[in-house]
């Protein structure tokens, strides 16, 4: 049997295991929206830890991270920089959100903000922006899955078909089990990826150079520009500190505000479980180091790999490794893609129904009908993202940074909700719209950017300024209502 066939069979076996876990995990959930979207608010520490942690090991980390280390060197360390501090704000606002969620029945992010500012329009805007941010992020995961299948089968399975196979499995268990399917498959995938990351991340430098230290010594001698902070930009020129630090800032701001992440606050069994998960969360960054080692190891030994995001599967298939081992590592890359993609497609469908359709047109929507509608949108959203994955040629990491620019605009809403009693509905709406408009404009016309900063930074600055000014000149909200949130 040809090696590529063995690799493919091992990969398909892993997909089968993920499907079984995803289907079985949803048996105990209630049939309404709270069961499908929030898992009946019953996730314990271990599962919640892996649900949050496995999302780091997305196609962005497993494929885009090595791709950046391979092509842009030290620039890839921005991933660790923002990931280490990204979830820290949850320790402050997470318990508030969890308590309010139980009190008022929230299961999405927009429900909290729309209630605070008494605005159905804000709920709809957040639903639209969430979808705009989710589609490129989900596209990223699908492209990653397609790369894996294409490389391990030596091009016999094209990228579009590989993405379809992996995300066909994701669709089935998300459609059937909702958040519990996401949670338990993420636990499996997170454990699997931990083992594979360290195994291959240490083995590869040893195999090619004699060790991690020897690898970096060789790089320092042959390609010192890759190890000179802050690395290179997409064109191969030295990345400016302004661009680097603003990318870290926008990512750190947006990290804890991703709607699919934010929604996991509502799933925690209790406040103690939530806080423990937040405290231990940064330990996942330890497992990003060996993933970056993979990209650095390929610089001198595998020059000219295009696209750079395919460096991991390219190295795998070129080494003299048993086919079963190669298959396991390819399954790990798929696990990275699926562990984020399933959460994204589930959250996107939930948000569109709860924050868009139900809020604007059907506030009396019955719980069972609501869950059925979310399931149907799971399929539609995945289809849209798949179309982008097949047609788009944008870098995986570039897609992620684009999404973060929009998500960062939620930060002023969060601050206003819990810190500023004077914040008004017109101020919240005006600031949010202005910030998103700036992000769109600077992405369409990058020559307008000042100081080489990420568009999301300018968006947040305009968001805060406009929101503050409009709030100060409009009628203040009810003090009693605001106290519910500020004093939560």
Predicted confidence (pLDDT) per residue in 375-419, tens digit? 888 888 888 888 877 776 665 556 666 677 888 899 999 999 999
Range of the domain at 141: 3-404
Asked whether the predicted pLDDT for residue 218 surpasses 90, the reply is yes
Phi first, then psi: what are they for 268, rounded to 5°?
Answer: -65, 140
Predicted pLDDT of residue 173: 81
Beta strands per DSSP E along 21-79: none
Q: Report d(CA 467, CA 444) in Å as an integer.
A: 24
Bond before 307 cis per omega within 30 degrees: yes
Query: 219: how many CB neighbours lie within 10 A of its CB?
Result: 19
> Residue 110's domain is classified under what CATH number?
1.20.1730.10
Which tokens go with 56?
């780091």
Q: DSSP class of residue 240?
A: P
Q: What is the pLDDT of residues 131-140, one digit of tens each?
A: 877 877 788 7
Beta strands per DSSP E along 176-331: none
pTM of the predicted model, to two decimals? 0.81
Asked whether the predicted pLDDT for residue 370 surpasses 80, the reply is no
Any domain includes 454:
no
Query: Average pLDDT in the 337-359 region?
Result: 82
Any domain includes 455:
no
Query: 19: how many CB neighbours lie within 10 A of its CB?
Result: 18
Q: What is the pLDDT of residues 85-99, one digit of tens each?
A: 888 889 889 999 999
Any domain includes 471:
no
The least confident of 30-39, 263-272, 277-286, 340-349 is 30-39
Contact 61, 333 (CB under 8 A): no
Q: What is the pLDDT of residues 17-50, one digit of tens each?
A: 888 888 887 666 666 666 777 677 878 888 888 8
Any domain includes 398:
yes
Any domain includes 50:
yes
Q: What is the pLDDT of residues 166-197, one digit of tens each?
A: 888 888 888 777 877 888 888 888 888 888 88
Any domain includes 373:
yes
Predicted pLDDT of residue 233: 83
Predicted pLDDT of residue 399: 61
**Banded pLDDT at 72 (limits 50, 70, 90):** very high
Query: Average pLDDT in the 138-153 region?
Result: 80
Asked whether the predicted pLDDT for residue 56 surpasses 70, the reply is no
Predicted pLDDT of residue 38: 67
Nearest to 313 by CA among 63, 59, 140: 63
**Banded pLDDT at 351 (limits 50, 70, 90):** confident
Predicted pLDDT of residue 466: 97
Q: Decide which of 124 and 26 is more confident.
A: 124
Residue with tokens 């048993």: 322
> Using only C-alpha atoms, what is the Rg of the chain?
22
Predicted pLDDT of residue 400: 63
Q: Report d(CA 284, CA 287) in Å as an integer.
A: 6
**pLDDT-above-90 percentage for the chain:** 23
Q: How many domains does the chain have?
A: 1
Predicted pLDDT of residue 465: 97
Asked whether the predicted pLDDT for residue 62 surpasses 80, the reply is no
Task: Give the chain's mean pLDDT.
Answer: 84
Phi first, then psi: what are they for 211, rounded to 5°?
Answer: 150, 170
Any domain includes 307:
yes
Predicted pLDDT of residue 83: 83
HEC states along 138-184?
A: HHHHHHHHHHHHHHHCCCCCCHHHHHHHHHHHHHHHHHHHCHHHHHH
Any domain includes 123:
yes
Residues in contact with 111: Cβ distance below 8 Å, sequence separation at least 6, in sequence order: 104, 123, 354, 355
């Amino acid at each position: 049997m040809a090696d590529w066939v063995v690799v493919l069979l091992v990969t398909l076996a892993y997909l089968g295991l993920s499907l079984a876990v995803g289907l079985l995990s949803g048996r105990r959930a209630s049939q309404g929206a709270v069961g499908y979207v929030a898992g009946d608010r019953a996730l314990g520490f271990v599962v919640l830890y892996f649900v949050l942690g496995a999302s780091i090991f997305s196609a962005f980390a497993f494929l885009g991270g090595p791709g950046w280390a391979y092509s842009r060197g030290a620039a890839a360390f921005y991933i660790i920089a923002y990931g280490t501090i990204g979830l820290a704000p949850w320790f402050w606002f997470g318990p508030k959100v969890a308590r309010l969620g139980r009190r008022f029945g929230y299961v999405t992010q927009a429900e909290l903000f729309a209630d605070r500012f008494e605005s159905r329009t804000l709920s709809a805007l957040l639903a639209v922006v969430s979808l705009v941010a989710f589609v490129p992020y989900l596209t990223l995961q699908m492209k990653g899955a397609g790369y894996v299948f294409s490389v391990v089968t030596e091009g016999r399975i094209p990228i579009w078909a590989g993405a379809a196979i992996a995300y066909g499995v994701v669709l089935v268990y998300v459609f059937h089990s909702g958040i519990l399917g996401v949670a338990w498959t993420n636990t499996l995938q997170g454990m699997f990826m931990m083992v594979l990351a360290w195994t291959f991340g240490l083995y590869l430098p040893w195999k090619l150079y004699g060790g991690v230290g020897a690898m970096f010594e060789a790089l320092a001698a042959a390609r010192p520009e890759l190890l000179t902070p802050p690395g290179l930009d997409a064109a191969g020129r030295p990345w400016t500190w302004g661009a680097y630090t603003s990318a870290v800032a926008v990512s750190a701001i947006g990290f804890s505000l991703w709607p699919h992440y934010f929604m996991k606050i509502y799933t925690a069994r209790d406040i103690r479980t939530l806080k423990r998960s937040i405290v231990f969360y940064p330990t996942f960054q330890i497992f990003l180091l060996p993933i970056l080692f993979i990209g650095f190891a390929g610089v001198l030994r595998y020059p000219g790999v295009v696209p750079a995001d395919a460096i991991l599967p390219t190295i795998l298939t070129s080494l003299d490794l048993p086919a079963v081992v190669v298959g396991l590592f390819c399954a790990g890359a798929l696990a990275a893609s699926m562990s984020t993609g399933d959460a994204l497609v589930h959250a996107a469908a939930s948000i569109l129904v709860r924050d868009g359709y139900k809020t604007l047109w059907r506030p009396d929507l019955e719980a069972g009908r609501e869950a059925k509608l979310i399931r149907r949108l799971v399929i539609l959203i995945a289809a849209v993202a798949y179309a982008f994955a097949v047609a788009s040629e944008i870098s995986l990491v570039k897609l992620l940074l684009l999404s973060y620019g929009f998500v960062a605009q939620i930060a002023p809403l969060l601050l206003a909700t819990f810190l500023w009693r004077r914040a008004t509905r017109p101020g919240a709406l005006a600031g949010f719209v202005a910030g998103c408009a700036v992000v769109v404009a600077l992405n369409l016309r990058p020559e307008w950017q000042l100081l080489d900063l990420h568009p999301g930074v300018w968006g947040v600055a305009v968001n805060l300024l406009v929101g503050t000014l409009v709030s100060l000149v409009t009628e203040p909200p009810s003090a009693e209502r605001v106290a519910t949130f500020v004093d939560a």
